[in-house]
Structure 1
Amino acid sequence: TTGLESCIIGGGQWRKVQGYINPFWLVLAASLAAALYAAFCLQESVEQRKPAKLLTLSHYRAVYRLYTAPEHPSSRRKLALYSLAFFLLVTVHFGTKDLFVLYELGSPLCWAAELIGYGSAATYLAYLSSLGGLRLLQLCLGDTWVAEIGLISNISGLVVISLATTTPQMFTGYGILFLSMAATPVIRSKLSKLVSETEQGALFASVACVEGLCSLVATGVFNSLYPASLHFMRGFPFLFGAVILLIPAAVIG
């Protein structure tokens, strides 16, 4: 995350001086270096390969049984509710993140490449601040309260951003989002505690499927909502996301 923030901040200045071509050459060179390092320098961690079928439905059945097993109906109900909360939270995160640059480029903000770089860095800074805040809050609060505080930070920041008309207001919204990512690991932890050790793999697969679905839904909903709401409120998608996050807050609470 630190390296990503440095690239984003420096990238804005670089694009301002030399345009877009040279920064993309750097991205290509870094990607090739990473690929070559992984191919020739990293050692294989799996010493003995186990035989596995190429086409099998066992993995899908394991995920299905995860939510339908009748042994612990209350745990399965909580599992479904927490999965719904995770789906809504990650969908809002993906959807709003895709719109920040468009929102900053338009009127009345009209940011240049330099300010967009700073704004993107502030967005990724929330990952670091949420990690530190999560550790500190867990020293004196339970997981439920930590998740609620993270959701409050997320909702408040999105509301401020939706109403922002000046650069200071926009950065104030970014500042309020400093704990916005704290709720996601807490929900993952709660999900993990609801299943047995033998079901952890199926749970991880289920969470990965939910994340993929979140990306698909977020792109379709928020990217369609933004142009449709320009004529009455440019920041409406962020306000819409804040309202949606009230559902995970109610589920966790």
Structure 2
Amino acid sequence: MDAVEEISKARYIATEPINFLILAIQGMLTTLRTLYFRETLASDYEYNLLPQQDGNCSLPNVSNPLEVQINSETALWVMWLASISTFIPILTASVLVATSDFIGRKPILIFSATGHLIASLIYLLVSVMRLPLAVTFLAAITLGVCGDTSAAITVCTAYIADSTSGNTRTQRLVLQSLAVYAGWGCGQAVGGVLLRYLGNFPVCFAVPVALSVINLAYTVCPGVLLETMPPREHFNAKEVLCKSFKNLRGIFSRRMSEERWTVWCLITIVCLQNLVIESLHDIIIIYGLGSPFCWTADIVGYYSAAVSLFPAGVASLIVRPLLRCFSEYWLIHFSLISAIAQKVTSALAQNTVQLAIIATVVSFMRTTASPVCKDLISRAVSKREHGMYFALLSFATSLMAVCSPFLVNGLFAYTNKIGFPQITFYVTSVILLIPMTLNGIMQYYVQKTQREMESPQNDDHLRLEPREDEHLLLPRSNANQH
């Protein structure tokens, strides 16, 4: 029995707690920072925020321009922090993942856990000492340097691939996906509920710090998380980077066959979807905090959990049955339609039920397009090219994650000032029509190609194996001769 098989049998749970804890930390920080920024800006402007009891706003302040200004600035602060924490991992995450092949998986996970602990401590110090909001940029930079969630999740995936095989690997990857969504949703829900009932930001920010300590202890303690990739004696960072960029450059220099065009179209679909979805969650929360919705902190938490867990849970149940009736391209259509329905419903919403519940329900398939596109990409290229093209996809989606806050948050900040924040939802809906159109064109040509390939085969089959009632298929004159 080799080391990989031994580890696989010895550890039924390995990296799943890391996925859950890191996403829970990020979820809490995302929710708490938005609420903290809004309250701090209101304090700086010496403005009393609208009373938020049972979701009702006080009528005298409904159209107060100062509240509009606070919401707009909150969106901009979130935009800059999100951009920093997503821009830096474009390079750091790929380098860290590549490095794990040489120095082992655990050192990268320890580095990621340490970065999350430092970032959580920065947010805690800002809330305790009432430091300027600009200090939170240090937390965003720290998260970016440690690869944000991208590096940790990818290394955990590699860890599972190292220590499992066959059906066991599939089950573990599914469990990892559930841990990611559960951590993200629960983290945001817990953050909102704690703030609602405690009303104390320092206490709430202390929870991510505690989770970070637990995560770091889990990765560091000997015998808890076993190493699956023994460190190599010689590690040359320059050589690793050169090989990675050489493979990436080779993708662009190859002749564009039909399969390559399909891959590029699928990558474009995923990128445009990420461009819209990446920052829209924060925008809906900021939109819900204002009038006429006036969400409380616990509503923010419940909404964050529902919008993360509900689509993933429903999709995991219905995708397999749908594939028996529809092709993958139809599933991409359904997913994009579901995402558009969420945005249009949010724009038309007049109360919390419509914005938080109905809009979430109609988005039940919005998370399906990305994994389906990845599956189609893996089919369109050879096995040796999987790593290169998924690396390219990761790089492209990271760029979209950087651009998304500037587009979505910036647009919301402007439209909110002019009194029409709903324009943001309509614009993002129009953007999603582009991947829908591209998917439709690709679906048409794929089906056309399949029909052309099947037609000669059917003709050859008819010529080689004539049916007994062939005279019924021939013209009437030939049938009489028979």
Correspondence 1:15 to 2:195: yes
Deviates more, 1:123-132 or 1:98-107: 123-132
Q: Which segment is superposed worse, 42-51 or 53-62?
A: 42-51
Match of 1:30 in 2: 211
Deviation at 1:28, TM superposition (A): 0.8
Structure 2 counterpart of 1:214 = 400
Aligned counterpart for 1:110 among listed residues 294, 309, 313: 294
Deviations 1:115-167 (A, max 9, x none): 11221122112222222232332233221111111111111111111221211
Higher relative contact order (CA 8 A, sep 6+): 1
**1:52 deviation in Å?**
4.9
Which runs of 5 or more structure 1 residues have no equivalent in the other structure? none
Find the partner of 2:226 among 43, 47, 64. 43
Deviation at 1:10? 3.7
- TM-score (structure 2 length as normaliser): 0.50
Change beyond 3 A, Cα 1:120–1:66: same
Instruction: Name the structure 2 match of 1:190.
Output: 376
Give me the whole-angstrom Cα distance separating, in 1, the residues matched to 2:233 and 2:267: 31
Partner of 2:410: 224
Moved over 4 A (4+): none
> Which segment is superposed worse, 76-85 or 168-177?
76-85
1:63 has 2:251 as partner: no
Q: 2:427 maps to what in 1?
A: 240
Distance in 2 between residues matched to 1:115 and 1:145, nearest whole Å: 34
The separation in 2 between residues aligned to 1:98 and 1:7, in whole angstroms, is 15
Moved more, 43-52 or 144-153: 43-52
Cα distance in 2, alignment partners of residues 49 and 100 from structure 1: 47
SS in 2 for 1:178: coil
Question: 2:315 — aligned with what?
Answer: 130
- Provide the secondary structure at the position in 2 that maps to 1:209: helix
Q: Distance in 2 between matches of 1:48 and 1:5?
A: 35
Which one of 191, 194, 199 corresponds to residue 385 of structure 2? 199
Is contact 1:66-1:199 (8 Å) kept? Answer: no
Q: How does 1:39-188 map to 2 (within 5 A)?
A: 39-40=220-221, 41-47=224-230, 49=232, 51-55=234-238, 56-70=241-255, 73-125=257-309, 126-170=311-355, 171-188=357-374
Residues 24, 136 of structure 1: alpha-carbon distance in 2 compared, 3 angstrom cutoff: farther
CA radius of gyration, larger in: 2
**How many residues are treated as equivalent by the alignment?**
252
**Cα offset, 1:236, TM superposition:** 1.8
Look up the equivalent residue of 2:295 and give its one-letter code. W
1:182, distance to aligned residue in structure 2 (A):
0.6
Q: Which moved more, 1:196-205 or 1:131-140?
A: 131-140
Q: Aligned pair in 2 of structure 1 residues 15, 187: CA closer, same or farther (>3 Å)?
A: same
Partners of 1:28 and 1:47 in 2: how far apart? 31
What code does the residue aligned with 1:222 have? V
Counterparts of 2:403 and 2:189, CA distance in 1:
29
Alpha-carbon contact 1:147-1:183 (below 8 Å) kept: yes
| Alpha-carbon distance between aligned partners in 1 of 2:244 and 2:186, rounded to the nearest angstrom | 40
Per the alignment, do residues 173 and 50 of structure 1 end up closer, same or farther by CA in structure 2, a change over 3 Å counting?
farther
The question of whether the paired residues in 2 share the 8 Å contact of 1:154 and 1:180 is answered with yes
Structure 1 pair 68–131 and aligned structure 2 pair: CA distance change class (3 A)? farther
Percent sequence identity over aligned pairs: 25
Q: 2: CA distance between counterparts of 1:68 and 1:222?
A: 33
Classify the secondary structure of the residue corresponding to 2:258.
helix
Distance in 1, matches of 2:189 and 2:265, equals: 39
* Aligned-partner Cα distance in 1 for 2:248–2:268: 15
Distance 1:63 1:160, change over 3 A: same
Measured on the aligned residues, the alpha-carbon RMSD in Å equals: 1.8
Q: 1:207 to 1:249 in 2, by over 3 A?
A: same
For the residues of structure 2 that align with 1:81 and 1:75, how far apart are their CA atoms?
A: 10
> Is the contact between residue 103 and residue 235 of structure 1 (CA under 8 Å) also seen in structure 2?
no
Match of 1:249 in 2: 436
Q: Which runs of 5+ in 2 are unaligned?
A: 1-180, 441-482
Cα distance in 2 for residues equivalent to 1:61 and 1:164: 50
Matched, 1:2 2:182: yes
